[in-house]
């Protein structure tokens, strides 16, 4: 299919698609810069929550500039299709990046030799922000669903002044409001499949886990993990310093480019600390269940330490191959998060890095006051 025009952007190729939209590699014809363009479905297929997240993400990031935080450039509605233009990142999600071995890391041209995610989360096939099952923390299977619409509907001609192009986050939010109930300012939590296998499957998985921990502890992998965590800390220190919480930190929202530079992605649930609320106006939680801090589950006021708890879940998962807690239902999972101490990392991964394990366990303390208090403190502990 030949490239099409979406406002001032020329679409070059599809990077990924899902049930509510598609991400394209595009070219800004005004600057000749490559960009990533998220385009949501329109009409009856419009996902109004996704549209509001698009507007929120732009508003959150528009004035931020940090090497470890993804940049956004434009947002609006084109012929009924909400879009967000952002930095094009040629890279992999953190989990897939850590899976790479030395010989596979770079191709002769200097780029990643495996399929690249390019500004997409691991779970973009559903675009629901549900992360992979925690027991498959190092699985690198990625799928892309069929495109939900056809770009042939767009003109190849130069856009005229009267074409249906409306710039700005408010145009996206107005479109969502017209298609659905008024925006409450919040979005609900992401329900993930929470399944517990039968005992025979568990036995097999334990044996596999024992073999996999050897791979988890490869010096090259651990070096990359530590370096990535330091960069994530720098990103968190920056956004927290600007009064923001991410509120949906997880491996699929962390990308690593070809220069091994980390980018924190997907700020659709980010919120200013001064405007904090743990729950929505109608009692819904926001975030992804497996990575939620206890205070987030309880609907208590949140601060930056909730993001640090999520960072602890990520570190625990990437050191052991599983998240700290797993259960059959969300309510059972929440009970574990609130009442149960996570199994010791070094009891699961006997040869794991003791320093990283100590950092992870302190991040996972139930009480925010018992955790590291800032991302800078976490950075210092990791750098020791």
Domain-located, residue 343: yes
Q: What is the per-residue burial (b if ≥16 Cβ within 10 Å, else e) of 309-334?
A: bbbbbbbbbbbbbbbbbbbeebeebb
Most confidently predicted of 11-25, 182-196, 341-355: 341-355
Does the pTM exceed 0.85? no
Q: What is the mean pLDDT of residues 110-127?
A: 46
Q: Would you please indicate which residues are annotated as catalytic (active-site) residues?
A: 248
Domain-located, residue 80: no
Give the per-residue pLDDT at 112.
Answer: 54
Give the per-residue pLDDT at 360.
Answer: 98
Domain-located, residue 329: yes
**Separation CA 85–CA 356 (nearest Å):** 36
Give the per-residue pLDDT at 198.
Answer: 58
Q: What is the mean pLDDT of residues 282-296?
A: 78
The DSSP string of 85-104 is EE----EEEHHHHHH--HHH
The model's confidence at residue 313, banded by pLDDT at 50, 70 and 90, is: very high
Residue predicted with more confidence, 43 or 77: 77
The model's confidence at residue 19, banded by pLDDT at 50, 70 and 90, is: low
Domain-located, residue 6: no
Domain-located, residue 192: no
Most confidently predicted of 43-57, 79-93, 186-200: 79-93
Domain-located, residue 278: yes
CATH number for the domain spanning 349: value is: 1.10.510.10
Domain-located, residue 88: no
Full residue range of the structural domain in which residue 308 is found: 199-383
Token pair of 372 as six digits: 């590291």
Domain-located, residue 95: no
Average pLDDT over the chain, rounded to whole? 77
Domains of the chain: total? 1
**Of 109-118, 243-252, 365-374, minimum mean pLDDT range:** 109-118
**Of 2-6, 260-264, 350-354, minimum mean pLDDT range:** 2-6
């Amino acid at each position: 299919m030949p490239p099409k025009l979406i406002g001032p952007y020329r679409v070059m190729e599809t990077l990924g698609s899902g049930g509510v939209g598609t991400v394209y590699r595009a070219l800004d014809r005004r600057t000749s810069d490559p960009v990533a363009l998220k385009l949501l479905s329109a009409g009856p297929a419009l996902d109004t929550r996704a549209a509001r997240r698009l507007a929120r993400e732009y508003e959150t990031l528009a004035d931020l500039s940090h090497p470890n935080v993804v940049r956004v450039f434009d947002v609006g509605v084109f012929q009924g299709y909400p879009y967000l233009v952002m930095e094009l990142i040629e890279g992999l999600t953190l989990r897939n990046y850590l899976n790479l071995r030395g010989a596979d890391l770079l191709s002769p041209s200097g780029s990643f030799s495996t399929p690249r995610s390019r500004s997409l989360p691991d779970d973009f096939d559903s675009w629901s922000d549900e992360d992979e099952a925690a027991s498959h923390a190092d699985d690198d299977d990625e799928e892309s669903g069929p495109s939900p619409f056809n770009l042939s509907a767009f003109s190849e001609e130069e856009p005229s002044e009267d074409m249906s192009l409306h710039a700005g986050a408010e145009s996206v939010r107005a479109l969502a409001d017209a298609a659905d109930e008024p925006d409450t300012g919040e979005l609900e939590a992401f329900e993930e499949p929470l399944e517990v296998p039968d005992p025979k499957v568990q036995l097999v998985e334990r044996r596999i886990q024992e073999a996999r921990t050897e791979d988890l502890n490869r010096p090259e992998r651990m070096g990359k993990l530590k370096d990535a965590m330091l960069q994530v800390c720098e990103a968190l220190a920056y956004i927290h310093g600007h009064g923001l919480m991410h509120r949906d930190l997880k491996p699929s929202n962390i990308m690593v480019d070809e220069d091994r530079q980390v980018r924190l992605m997907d700020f659709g649930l980010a919120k200013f600390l001064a405007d904090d609320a743990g729950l929505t106006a109608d009692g819904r939680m926001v975030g992804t269940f497996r990575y939620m801090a206890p205070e987030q589950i309880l609907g208590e006021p949140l601060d930056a330490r909730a993001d640090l708890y999520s960072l602890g879940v990520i570190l625990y998962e990437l050191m052991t191959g599983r998240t700290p807690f797993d259960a059959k239902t969300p309510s059972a999972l929440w009970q574990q998060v609130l009442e149960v101490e996570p199994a010791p990392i070094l009891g699961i991964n006997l040869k794991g890095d003791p320093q990283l394990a100590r950092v992870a366990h302190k991040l996972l303390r139930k009480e925010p006051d018992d955790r590291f208090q800032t991302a800078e403190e976490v950075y210092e502990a990791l750098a020791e």
